[in-house]
Each structure stands twice: as structure tokens, then as C-alpha cells.
Amino acid sequence: MNGENPGREAPQPPAGKVSRRRVLGGVGAVVGAAAATVIPLATIGLPSTRATETPTAKRQWGMVIDLRLCDGCEKCTKACQKEHSLPEEHTWLKIVEVPREGGSYFFPKICQQCENPPCLKVCPTAATFKNPEGVILVEQDRCIGCRMCMAACPYEARYFNYEDPIIPAGALDNPMPEFPVPQKKGTVGKCVLCVHNADKGKLPFCVEACSMDALYIADYNSDVMVNGSGHTHQLSKYLYENDAFRYKEELNTSPRVWYIAGHGQDYFEY
């Protein structure tokens, strides 16, 4: 791929919508007749099997971000910060405006949920771990605040909690790796892909808040992706037809976040 994508229009949503709960709840037939034209996941770099360490995991989560639709409104960022009680400087989903000839475009940066995560390898206490569904999480009770994971992450997707956490009204003092609210001072926090929502058939807060429908939650196992408006696509087919790419893929981290370009940008300039 040369990074050029001139004149390509954003894909249209299917005529019929499928409920988000049905998609996230595990109905593998949401793509209907399209299943006959499934493109092998390995063709586009997606894992063709479930994670080897958890062969019985029902879901394998990832994300798709359509850069053609992102307008930089930061509604996703604000929703994430609100729901996770994060301070303003902690942007688990950061919107970066990238200058280019004739203007600029917006690039959402988020934890890439790597298959080969550098952060996990350097953690001395195993506080950073991969859950059965392929999401990288942090057990803050085990985190000693050494910040080695922050230094290892090539995506700058982790944040150190220097201050006392924001305690939301009525919050239970029982943060879990899947929903680390409130954060714990002296530890590292990051995007958790809102797996506490996804496991209940709900969308991540950022996907729900995106008014441009640029963010999708995806499940590799059922080969389905869905956005906040309930538009669904066959994951492998959508990535293949829209020349999807992964951020800093040359680092061999095998991200589970895919991007769709659409502004003629160089894939690796950010």
C-alpha cells in the first residue's frame, strides 16, 4: 500500500440494521449471506484462530477506526474521561490533528491491544496482563508504579496516576481491571476497551459517543464490527475492501486496532 486513497467514498451502511446487543451478544450470523464470501483473516493480517493461550474464549475484541469520518470533535475522549473518572490530562483516547498539504486530518490514538504487547513483557509484577478475550489490562493492586510499561509502549497509550483519583458520586471502592474506577494513585492506567460493557452486550463508551460513526467495536471470532448507530459489517471483508492498516505495524506488535485511511495521508507519518 502506498498510502494513497483518492476519491474513495466511505462505505454505506447496510439497508437493514442489526441491534447492537445482538451483535455483541454473540449471534455469529449477523452478516447473513455475506458469510459465503468470507475473506480469510490471515489474508489481511488478522489471526485466523482464537488466541492460543485461551482457545475457549468466546470473543476476541478489537477496534476499527474510520479516519474518513473522524472530525476531531473529541466526544469519544470526553465520554471516556467522564465514565472512567479520569483527570483532563489523561486521554485514553487522544485525538491528534495531523497537518498535511492543504489542511489536516484527525487521528484517534488509543491502546492498540497488541497481540505481541511490549508493555506486558517488561512488567516486573505481572500487573499488566492479557485477558482471555485478548484485551490488555492492568491489575492496579499489583502495579508498583515503576512505569517500565510506559517506557516500552510505542503508542504512548499509558498514563501514570500522580494525584489522588477522582471519586465519582456513589462509586463503590472496588475497582477491577475491566473497570478501573476509581484509579489508584501511584499506578498506571490505560484504555480497557470497556470490556465490562462488551461482555454485557453494550458498546464501549467512546463508540457510543461518536456522533460521526467513525469508531467500531469488532469481534474477530464472529467476524463482525458495529458502531454507535448499529451499522454492522463483516469485519474481514470491510478491512480488505477498504485497505485497512495498523499503526506502526512495522514494530511487529500486531495491533488489534485497524484504521481506514481516506485523506491521502502517509500511513506512517504520525
Q: Which of 8-22, 69-83, 230-244, 249-263 has the lowest mean pLDDT?
A: 8-22
- For residue 267, is pLDDT > 80? no
pLDDT grade, residue 51 (50/70/90)? very low
Tell me the C-alpha distance between 226 and 230, whole Å: 6
For 66-93, the pLDDT digits (tens) are 999 999 999 999 999 999 999 999 999 9
Q: Which residue has the higher pLDDT, 54 or 68?
A: 68
Vertex 73, ends 67 and 77: CA angle to 5°? 90
Q: Report how far apart the first and last C-alpha atoms of the chain are (Å, whole number).
A: 16
Tell me the C-alpha distance between 128 and 17, whole Å: 37
Contact 90, 150 (CB under 8 A): no
CATH architecture assigned to 20-260: 2-Layer Sandwich (3.30)
- For residue 146, is pLDDT > 60? yes
- What residue ranges do the domains of the chain occupy? 20-260
Q: Which residue has the higher pLDDT, 174 or 248?
A: 248
- The pLDDT score that the predictor gives to residue 41 is 52
- The pLDDT score that the predictor gives to residue 36 is 34
For 211-223, the pLDDT digits (tens) are 999 999 999 999 9
Q: pLDDT averaged over the chain?
A: 82
Q: Which residue has the higher pLDDT, 221 or 36?
A: 221
Per-position DSSP letters for the chain, written without gaps between them = --S--TTPPPPPPPSS---HHHHHHT-TTTTGGGGGGPPPGGGGT--SSS-TT-TT-S--EEEEEETTT-----HHHHHHHHHTT--TT--SEEEEEEEETTEEEEEEEE----SS-HHHHH-TTS-EEE-TTS-EEE-TTT-----HHHHH-TT--EEE--SPPP--TT--S--BTTB--S--TTSEEE--TTHHHHTTT---HHHHH-TT--EEEEETTTTEEEETT--EEEHHHHHHHTT-B-TTGGG----SEEEE--S---TT--
Mean pLDDT across 48-67: 72
Q: Which residue has the higher pLDDT, 149 or 42?
A: 149
- For residue 32, is pLDDT > 70? no
Mean pLDDT across 17-34: 40
pLDDT grade, residue 244 (50/70/90)? very high
pLDDT grade, residue 12 (50/70/90)? very low
- For residue 34, is pLDDT > 60? no
pLDDT grade, residue 103 (50/70/90)? confident
- For residue 179, is pLDDT > 50? yes
- The pLDDT score that the predictor gives to residue 268 is 44
- The pLDDT score that the predictor gives to residue 174 is 75
- For residue 53, is pLDDT > 60? no
- The pLDDT score that the predictor gives to residue 119 is 98
Vertex 143, ends 142 and 147: CA angle to 5°? 160
pLDDT grade, residue 29 (50/70/90)? very low
**pTM of the model as a whole:** 0.80
